[in-house]
């Protein structure tokens, strides 16, 4: 009976070996990033973390919180997607990614949301913050209240778009908390974040998340960049019935950001597959212990 059990274990391991990456299994796994955090969203299992509590300027990842609040107001009936927003000079003159060029023009909340989620338009973010909060500063107060409410203990926001400010701060862990709660409350938002492009004012705007083209399982969520912090990304990917959220912060350039994020997701799906295989082997051994083969 012992010989049969050993043969069975050897056979199971032999079958599984080709599916495992030895490189991903090495202890001390490290990615070319300032910080990273990877979670199996369904089980809550942390699959990888690297400097997850390091304080870093969140850049445009701040817009996830802005979109969170916009979606709350829509859900609560305070505003509608079809509502029109009058564009201020402050919005038009906002630096960075743009979609607005005309003060006084009225644009729907729906188009502004698309501009934020897909183009990462800073001017659209200011326009919505002014419309919903009365001013950028008042909207930032709402942002910080919401961040505290959902458990972002190491974050502070002074603007809704993430343009550089030494007081604006977060961590990879806190950004995960934000992303998880955003998707939990508004899962339909993935339909927007997975759009590769949208057309506004006869101009085609492409999504800043290049993994939507390069990594088939990715369907969101947001990119960001400020010079002092580097290139960030929150990527969510679903393979089979498993969804992962990866937060990466501080890559040196957009290419490294995309490559490292893809590697982290690959690593996460590998860990899930290994866990599944280990459970199969464990169940098989338990069955053999309970129902041993008859002696020959």
Beta bridge partners of residue 242, listed in sequence order: 239
SS3 98: coil
For 274-279, which contacts have Cβ atoms below 8 Å and span 24 or more sequence positions?
A: 274/20, 274/25, 277/16, 277/19
Residue of 62, 88, 97, 120 marked catalytic:
120
126 vs 140: CA distance, rounded Å = 11
For 239-244, which contacts have Cβ atoms below 8 Å and span 24 or more sequence positions?
A: 239/269, 241/42, 242/40, 242/42, 242/269, 242/272, 243/40, 243/41, 243/42, 244/38, 244/39, 244/40, 244/41, 244/47, 244/268, 244/269
The pair of three-digit structure tokens given for residue 240, joined into one six-digit string: 């089979």
Residue of 34, 62, 63, 88 marked catalytic:
63
Q: Which residues, including other chains, have CB under 8 Å from residue 18's CB and lie 6 or more apart?
A: none
248 vs 264: CA distance, rounded Å = 9
SS3 percent helix, strand, coil of the chain, rounded to 5, is: 50, 20, 30
39 vs 177: CA distance, rounded Å = 10
Helices 62-75 and 136-150: angle between axes, nearest 10 degrees: 90
DSSP-assigned letter for residue 115: I
To the query of whether residue 135 is one of the catalytic residues in this protein, the response is: no
To the query of whether residue 43 is one of the catalytic residues in this protein, the response is: no
The pair of three-digit structure tokens given for residue 181, joined into one six-digit string: 């709660």
To the query of whether residue 103 is one of the catalytic residues in this protein, the response is: no
Active-site amino acid positions = 60, 63, 120
């Amino acid at each position: 009976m012992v010989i049969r059990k050993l043969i069975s274990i050897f056979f199971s391991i032999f079958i599984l070996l080709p599916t495992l990456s030895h490189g991903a299994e090495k202890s001390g796994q490290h990615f070319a990033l300032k910080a990273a955090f990877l979670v199996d969203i369904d089980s809550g299992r942390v699959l990888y973390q690297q400097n997850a509590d390091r304080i870093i300027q969140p850049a445009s990842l701040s817009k996830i919180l802005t979109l969170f609040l916009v979606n709350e107001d829509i859900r609560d009936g305070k505003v509608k997607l079809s509502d029109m927003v009058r564009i201020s000079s402050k919005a038009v003159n906002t630096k960075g990614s743009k979609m607005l060029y005309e003060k006084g023009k009225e644009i729907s909340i729906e188009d502004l949301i698309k501009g934020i989620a897909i183009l990462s338009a800073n001017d659209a973010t200011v326009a919505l913050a002014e419309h919903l909060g009365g001013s950028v500063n008042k909207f930032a107060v709402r942002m910080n209240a919401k961040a505290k409410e959902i458990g972002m203990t190491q974050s502070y926001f002074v603007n809704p778009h993430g343009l550089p400010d030494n007081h604006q701060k977060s961590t990879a862990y806190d950004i995960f908390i934000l992303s998880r709660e955003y998707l939990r409350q508004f899962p339909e938002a993935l339909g927007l974040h997975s759009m590769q492009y949208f057309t506004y004012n006869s101009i085609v705007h492409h999504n800043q998340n290049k993994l939507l083209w390069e990594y088939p399982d990715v369907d969101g969520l947001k990119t960001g960049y400020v010079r002092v912090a580097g290139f960030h990304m929150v990527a969510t990917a679903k393979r089979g019935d498993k969804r992962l959220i990866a937060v990466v912060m501080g890559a040196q350039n957009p290419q490294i950001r995309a490559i490292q994020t893809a590697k982290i997701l690959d690593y996460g799906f590998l860990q899930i597959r290994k866990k599944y295989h280990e459970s199969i082997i464990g169940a098989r051994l338990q069955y053999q212990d309970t129902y041993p083969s008859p002696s020959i």
